[in-house]
Chains A and B, each alone.
Chain A
Amino acid sequence: MTDYSIIGKRMPRVDSRAKVMGKARYTADLKLPGMLVGKILRSPHAHAKIVNIDTSKALALPGVKAVVTGADTEGVKWGVFAYTRDQQFIQTEKVRYIGDEVAGVAAVDEETALAALDLIHVEYEVLPAVFDPMTAMTTDAEPIHEEFPNNINIHVNIDTGSVDENFKKAYYIREDTFTAPEESYFHGEPYAVAARFDADDCLEIWMPNGGPHMKSKPLSNAFKIPLHKVKVRKITIGGAFGGRSEICPADYICALLAKKTGCPVKIVFTREENTIATRQGHAMITTHKTGVDKEGRVLARETTCYMDGGAYSSTGPIATSVPFLSMEQAYRMESVRYNGYRIYTNKPIRGMIRVHGRGFACGLDTQLDMIAEHLGIDPVEMRLRNSRQPGEFTSTGSQVWSCAMDETIKKAAAAANWHEKFGKLPPFHGIGIGTNSVQTGFPMGIRGGSQSFIKFNEDGEATVMSGVVDNGQGNENMLVQIAAEELGLLPEDIHLVSADTETTSSDPGSYSQVSTFVGGQAVKNAAANCRKKLFDVAAKILKTDPDKLTAKNRMIFVTDHPEKSVSIKKTVRVALLNFTSVNAEGGYWPRVDMKREWVSNPYGQMCEAFSFGTTIIEVKVDPDTGQVTVLNAVACQDVGKALNPLVLEGQFEGSVAMGGQGGMLTEYHDWREGRCLNPTMLEYKVPLACDMPEITGIIVESVDPRGPYGAKEAGMSIAMSAAQAYAGAVSNAIGVYMDSFPLTPDKIVAAIREKRQAVK
Chain B
Amino acid sequence: MRLPQFTYHSPDTLEGVLALLDEHRDNAGVLAGGTDLLVRMKHRLAVPKVLVSLKHLDTLSYIKETSEMVSIGAKTPIIDVIRSNRVQQQAPALGQACERIGAVSIQHFRGTIGGNILQDNRCIHYNQSQFHRTGRQPCHKDGGKICYAREEADRCNSTCQSDGAAALMALGAQLNLCSSKGERQVSLDAFYTTDGIHPFDMQPDELLTRIDIPIVPGAVSVYQRLSFRSAIDYPIVCAGVRLVPDPDDAGCIKSARIVVGAMGRSPLFLAKVSQSLAGKRFDDIAAVAQAGKDAMNTAAAFAAHNAGAALPYRQAMVETMVIRALELAAAQASMKIAR
Contact: A625 with B2, CB < 8 Å? no
A-B contact sample (14 more), CB < 8 A, given A272-B131, A676-B132, A687-B229: A43-B135, A44-B131, A624-B320, A666-B228, A670-B308, A672-B148, A673-B136, A675-B136, A677-B308, A679-B129, A685-B229, A688-B231, A691-B230, A746-B309
Complex Cα spacing A529 to B128, Å: 57
A-B contact list, 22 entries, CB within 8 Å:
A44-B131, A44-B134, A44-B136, A98-B135, A270-B129, A272-B131, A624-B320, A626-B313, A670-B308, A672-B125, A672-B148, A673-B136, A675-B132, A675-B135, A678-B124, A678-B308, A679-B132, A688-B232, A744-B310, A745-B309, A746-B309, A750-B313
A682, CB-defined interface residue at 8 Å: yes
Q: Is B144 an interface residue (CB 8 A)?
A: no
A637 to B125, CA, bound (A): 43
Closest 9 CB pairs of A and B: A44-B135, A746-B313, A44-B134, A746-B310, A685-B228, A624-B320, A683-B308, A666-B228, A677-B124
Contact B124–A670 (Cβ < 8 Å):
yes
Q: How far does the Cβ of B129 sit from chain A's closest Cβ, in whole Å?
A: 5
Q: Which residues of A contact B217 (CB under 8 A)?
A: none
- With an 8 A cutoff between CB atoms, is A42 at the interface? yes
Q: Which residues of B contact A215 (CB under 8 A)?
A: none
Please tell me if the beta carbons of B136 and A688 are within 8 angstroms of each other in the complex. Answer: no
Assess whether B131 is in contact with A690, with CB atoms less than 8 Å apart: no
CB distance from A136 to the nearest CB of B (A): 20
Instruction: Please report A residues at the B interface, Cβ cutoff 8 Å.
Output: 42-45, 98, 110-111, 114, 270, 272, 624-627, 666, 670, 672-673, 675-679, 681-683, 685, 687-688, 690-691, 744-746, 749-750
Residues on the A chain within 8 Å of B320, using CB? 624-625
Q: Mark B302-339, 1 if CB is under 8 A from A, else 0.
A: 00000011101100110010001000000000000000
B104 vs chain A, min Cβ distance (A):
9
Determine the main DSSP class of B at the interface with A.
loop
Q: Within the complex, what minimum Cβ distance (angstroms) separates B335 from chain A?
A: 23
A432 CB to closest chain B CB (Å) equals 21
| Cα–Cα, bound, A672→B125 (Å) | 9
A752 shortest CB reach to chain B, Å: 11
The answer to whether A745 touches B313 (Cβ under 8 A) is yes
B1 within 8 A of A: yes
Chain B residues 282-303 with CB under 8 Å of chain A are none
Closest Cβ of chain A to B157, distance in Å, is 14
Cα-based distance from A492 to B2 in the complex (angstroms): 42
C-alpha gap A750/B316 in the complex (Å): 10
A42 touches B124 (CB 8 A): no
Using a CB-CB cutoff of 8 Å, which residues 221-278 of chain B contact chain A? 226, 228-234
- Cα A111 to Cα B310 in complex, Å, equals 37
User: In the assembled complex, which residues on chain A have CB atoms less than 8 Å from the CB atom of B229?
Assistant: 666, 685, 687-688, 691
Q: Which residues of A contact B129 (CB under 8 A)?
A: 270, 272, 679
Contact of A110 with B2 in the complex, beta carbons under 8 Å: yes
**Interface size range on B against A:** 20 to 34
A324 to B22, CA, bound (A): 67
Chain A residue contacts of B135, Cβ below 8 A: 43-45, 98, 675
Closest B residue to A48 by CB, please name it: B135
The residues of B that contact A627 with a CB separation of less than 8 Å are 226
Complex interface: chain A residues within 8 A of B228 (CB):
666, 685, 745
Please give the distance in Å from A154's CB to the nearest CB on chain B: 29
Which residues of A have CB within 8 Å of B310? 744, 746
CB distance from A290 to the nearest CB of B (A): 31
> Which residues from chain B contact A272 at a C-beta distance below 8 Å?
129, 131-132
Contact of A677 among B125, B134, B316, B317 (CB under 8 A): B125
Whole-angstrom distance from the CB of A551 to the nearest CB of chain B? Answer: 49
Alpha-carbon separation in the docked complex, A15 to B258 (Å) = 54
Contacts of B233 in A (CB 8 A): 682, 685
Chain B residues positioned under 8 Å from A673 (CB to CB): 136
Residue of B2, B124, B228, B229 with most chain A CB atoms under a 10 A cut-off? B228
- Chain B residues within 8 Å of A43, by CB: 135
**Chain A residues within an 8 Å CB radius of B1:** 270
Q: How far is the CA of A690 from the CA of B231 in the complex (A)?
A: 9
A673 to B100, CA, bound (A): 33
> Do the beta carbons of B232 and A682 come within 8 Å of each other?
yes
A44 to B233, CA, bound (A): 28
Considering the chains assembled together, what is the distance between the CA atoms of A625 and B310 in angstroms? 13
Which one of B125, B148, B310 has the highest number of Cβ atoms from chain A below 10 Å of its Cβ? B310
Q: Give the docked Cα–Cα distance between A746 and B314 (Å).
A: 8
Closest B-chain residue to A675, C-beta based?
B132
Which residues in B have their C-beta under 8 angstroms from that of A625? 226, 317, 320
- Say how far A98's CB is from chain B's closest CB, in angstroms: 7
Q: Are B313 and A749 in contact (CB under 8 A)?
A: yes
A448 to B312, CA, bound (A): 51
Asked if A42 contacts B131 (CB within 8 A), the reply is yes
Which residues of B have CB within 8 Å of A98? 135
B124: contacting residue among A683, A744, A749, CB under 8 A: A683
CB neighbours (8 Å) of B312 from chain A are 746
Q: Chain B residues near A666: list those with CB within 8 A.
A: 228-229
Measured CA separation A673–B317 after assembly (Å): 27
How far does the alpha carbon of A670 sit from the alpha carbon of B229 in the complex, in Å? 17
In chain B, positions 75-130 with a C-beta closer than 8 Å to chain A are 124-125, 128-129
Bound complex: CA of A418 vs CA of B201, how far in Å? 59
Residue of B nearest to A685 (CB): B228
Which residues does chain A contribute within 8 Å of B131, judged by CB atoms?
42, 44, 270, 272
B4 nearest in chain A by CB position: A111
- Which residues on the A side are within 8 Å of B2 (C-beta)? 110-111, 114
A42–B129 Cα gap in the complex (Å)? 13
Cα distance, A418 to B147, chains bound together (Å):
51
Q: Which residues of B contact A42 (CB under 8 A)?
A: 131
CA distance A114 to B131 in the complex (A): 11
Q: In the complex, are the beta carbons of A749 and B308 less than 8 A apart?
A: no
Chain B residues in 8 Å Cβ range of A114: 2
Closest to B148 in A: A672
Cα distance, A666 to B310, chains bound together (Å): 13
